[in-house]
Structure 1
Amino acid sequence: MRMLVVCSDFPYPADHGGRVDTWGRIKVLAELGWKLHLLVCGKQQPSKEEMDAVYEYVEVITLCDRRSKLADLIHAAPMQVRSRSSLQNVELAGDYDYVLLEGDYVYPVLQNPKIKHDTVILRVHNDEAVYFKALARSTKNVAHKMYYHMESSKFAALQKKMLEKVDKYLFISSKEFETFRKQNPSAKSLFLPPPVTKGTFEASDFQSKHVVFIGSLFMPNNREAIQWYLAHIHPLMLKEPGYKFIVAGNSRKQSLSWMDAYDLTNVIVHDTPKTLDDIYKSGYLFVNPMQNGAGVKLKTIEAIQNGLPVISTSIGYEGTGLVDNQHIMVADRPEQFYGKIKQLFDNPQAARALLEASQNFLRTHYNHKEVLREYMQSLNASYPVKQVL
């Protein structure tokens, strides 16, 4: 069985949420016995070392250029899609049993003559219309706000076109899956949780008083989350002996001056760190104070895998299936958010119990490999997928 995986970004290294999900799935599919071809249309050219790492799991890698121009802004297609138009002309081997689209951005590949629409499966990372509308709320830049609103409207139209060509959907968010299933009961849709990437989960020793946030520092919704925490929570936390706020993420070389308006006492920023392991290990708990977003916030899942209990806003944990006060603590008002942190700071046993409950939830409900295996078998029972243990 042969599958073409089409990505809008090179999946390795898995250094942000979308890559974590895609890279984990590529490894799972290879373990299940699929022969994989990878087609990528992204901005960055991968290094030889990155290509070699991916070749451990795929047979063929095809790269195509992503090109964008100002005129794309007035095109009916979203700019994120329009810039990947070259996908429709890429030379492909063809005769794929299935084609896995990693997100809406790679829609142009459906125009490629080697792609049969009845073989196509869409991995829904976000409801992009909702996601771009959320980005518009997060940014204060007027030009960016207008762009995000335009993209949101265009993605809403594109999703209707997608439904005419694709009837197989794998949702990363349980919430978005339930909404889609009610509206489109005939589609072959399923909630496929993000892959749990660690064989053995970590656990904090709950000795430090470090609060951790890890996320892409160039994204306006992550910036907004950090600013909310710095404005409302951080000043209260400075009364705690030994407290530090640890921020880490890829800035893509963009300025971090947007943090300068806040008191940065006891704030430590790791800009584009090579590894996150020591940052997780140094933490007591993880916060996800996002105010706007869509899909699943993989930073929440990653923090739990890496040994930190999570305190989040409602936006920061939606679609995960985690339960408030059982696997995670949820608060949307500043005084509540601070109170939850203080509660776990004052009771390490409660923090440890919350972490253990959330990790057990992931072990039980985030079996990406088994869910994906059963889904693929359900599509074509005459081609059982080999299970590799």
Structure 2
Amino acid sequence: MHIHVLSFTIPYPPDYGGVIDVFEKIRALQAEGVRVHLHCYQYNRERAEALEEYCEKVYYYQRKVGLSLTLPHIVASRRHALLATRLDRDDYPILAEGVHTAYPLVQGWWPGRKVAVRLHNVETEYYRNLSEVTHDRWKSMYYGIESGLLRRWEERVAALPLLAIHPGVKAYYEDVFGAREVTYLPAFTRYVAGDNPLGRGEYVLFHGDLSVADNVEALRWLLEEVRGEGRLPWVVAGRQPDERVFRLIRGHAGVRLYDNPSAPDMEALIRGAQVHVVQSFNPEGIKIKLLHALFAGRHCIAQEALLAGTGLSETCRAAGGAAEFRAALDELWERPFTEEDRALRTRLLREQFDNGTNARALMAALR
């Protein structure tokens, strides 16, 4: 079986959420005997020879500059005539990663051809939320305009076969956009269930990409509304923290910052934590950092919308407001992570996040 995969960026190195899903999906498909023809948009990452190990062919396209008055920038900048020409050479199924790359599918250039769009997020809501939490006026305006354009775009995408990364994304497309063909296909991960450390850890951990406005706002809320002047030691870890992050950390004694940790260092920080806190003001998609914490860490508290419909609430405490986060922290800080905790988590994660099972489900959807 051959499949074209249209990736919104170069999925290597797999060092953040959406890229991890794309890369591990490609690896899982190749392990099932699928010949992947990968099409990547290049704008802030280098070409990666490592991808050739898992792909039949890898193509690269430069993203375009400039804004469109009718299409979201994340879509308009990824229109490319050469991509359409290459896709025209055969009738292999096409998987568009994110609504970003769905332009040729929405245009309906190949009637009857097997196609699907991988939904990583509700982009309309993602950009609306970015507009609200961003402190830069011009960025906020851009995100707001992009959100409006994305709403019209996602309404068009909703007519296609869809593979949602999170039950909440599936429900939103069905309820708001009227989609009729949406399948929940869990995230592809690089983690192995059953390796959680036992006993007690040493700190509360928040981690993520600290250049993303949503993560910075989530950190601010957690430190000011949840931790406050609390006694528990906290660690914050992530890449590319900006000055706002440094100011937040300086304002809270007992909070340590690890900026740009290596992959081994990040793994050690996750394994050393007693409790992981995962908060987001953009809860429409799965957070790979949440899965990382569940696969490799001890106790976890997550914003309740991130867990809705996932079946993971048994092994990850759901919390809404600050009072619920604080109460869960006080309880879990004192509780060792036991063999029983690990066995339950292992079972729940294997039920949903087995890459081989999910690759076969994807292949079935595209046959």
Same structural fold, with TM-score higher than 0.5 when normalized by the shorter chain:
yes
In the other structure, the counterpart of 1:160 is: 155
Contact 1:297 1:316 in 2 (8 A): yes
- Mapped pair 1:367 → 2:357: no
In the other structure, the counterpart of 1:230 is: 223
- Mapped pair 1:267 → 2:261: no
In the other structure, the counterpart of 1:294 is: 284
Contact 2:193 2:346 in 1 (8 A): no
Deviation at 1:376, TM superposition (A): 2.9
In the other structure, the counterpart of 1:78 is: 72
- Mapped pair 1:278 → 2:265: no
Contact 1:202 1:305 in 2 (8 A): yes
Percent identity over the alignment is 22
After superposition, the Cα gap between the structure-2 partners of 1:354 and 1:222, relative to the gap in structure 1 and judged at 3 Å, is: farther
- Mapped pair 1:201 → 2:191: no
3-state SS of the aligned residue for 1:133?
A: helix
Which residues of structure 1 form unaligned runs of 5+?
381-389
Deviation at 1:78, TM superposition (A): 0.6
In the other structure, the counterpart of 2:211 is: 218
After superposition, the Cα gap between the structure-2 partners of 1:37 and 1:347, relative to the gap in structure 1 and judged at 3 Å, is: same
Distance (whole Å) between structure 2 residues aligned to residue 186 and residue 281 of structure 1: 40
- Mapped pair 1:35 → 2:35: yes
Deviation at 1:175, TM superposition (A): 2.0
Counterpart of 2:188 in structure 1: which amino acid?
P
1:246 to 232, 235, 238: 235
After superposition, the Cα gap between the structure-2 partners of 1:298 and 1:199, relative to the gap in structure 1 and judged at 3 Å, is: closer
After superposition, the Cα gap between the structure-2 partners of 1:89 and 1:269, relative to the gap in structure 1 and judged at 3 Å, is: same
Distance (whole Å) between structure 1 residues aligned to residue 364 and residue 323 of structure 2: 49
Distance (whole Å) between structure 2 residues aligned to residue 96 and residue 35 of structure 1: 14
Deviation at 1:83, TM superposition (A): 1.6
Deviation at 1:198, TM superposition (A): 2.4
3-state SS of the aligned residue for 2:102?
A: helix
- Mapped pair 1:133 → 2:128: yes
Distance (whole Å) between structure 2 residues aligned to residue 112 and residue 330 of structure 1: 41
After superposition, the Cα gap between the structure-2 partners of 1:76 and 1:37, relative to the gap in structure 1 and judged at 3 Å, is: same
In the other structure, the counterpart of 1:329 is: 317
Counterpart of 1:331 in structure 2: which amino acid?
A
Deviation at 1:207, TM superposition (A): 3.6
In the other structure, the counterpart of 2:117 is: 122
After superposition, the Cα gap between the structure-2 partners of 1:56 and 1:115, relative to the gap in structure 1 and judged at 3 Å, is: farther
2:56 to 49, 56, 59: 59
In the other structure, the counterpart of 2:330 is: 342
Contact 1:89 1:112 in 2 (8 A): no
Deviation at 1:228, TM superposition (A): 0.7
109-118 vs 289-298, which deviates more? 109-118
Which residues of structure 2 form unaligned runs of 5+?
none
Contact 1:40 1:64 in 2 (8 A): yes
TM-score, normalising length: structure 1: 0.84
3-state SS of the aligned residue for 2:188?
A: coil
TM-score, normalising length: structure 2: 0.89
Contact 2:200 2:335 in 1 (8 A): no
After superposition, the Cα gap between the structure-2 partners of 1:39 and 1:377, relative to the gap in structure 1 and judged at 3 Å, is: same
Distance (whole Å) between structure 2 residues aligned to residue 92 and residue 257 of structure 1: 45
Contact 1:87 1:112 in 2 (8 A): no
Deviation at 1:131, TM superposition (A): 1.3
Contact 1:4 1:96 in 2 (8 A): no
Contact 1:312 1:331 in 2 (8 A): yes
Distance (whole Å) between structure 2 residues aligned to residue 183 and residue 376 of structure 1: 28
Counterpart of 1:13 in structure 2: which amino acid?
P
After superposition, the Cα gap between the structure-2 partners of 1:322 and 1:200, relative to the gap in structure 1 and judged at 3 Å, is: closer
After superposition, the Cα gap between the structure-2 partners of 1:318 and 1:84, relative to the gap in structure 1 and judged at 3 Å, is: same
Equivalent residue pairs, number: 363
3-state SS of the aligned residue for 1:68?
A: coil
Deviation at 1:353, TM superposition (A): 4.6
Deviation at 1:367, TM superposition (A): 3.0
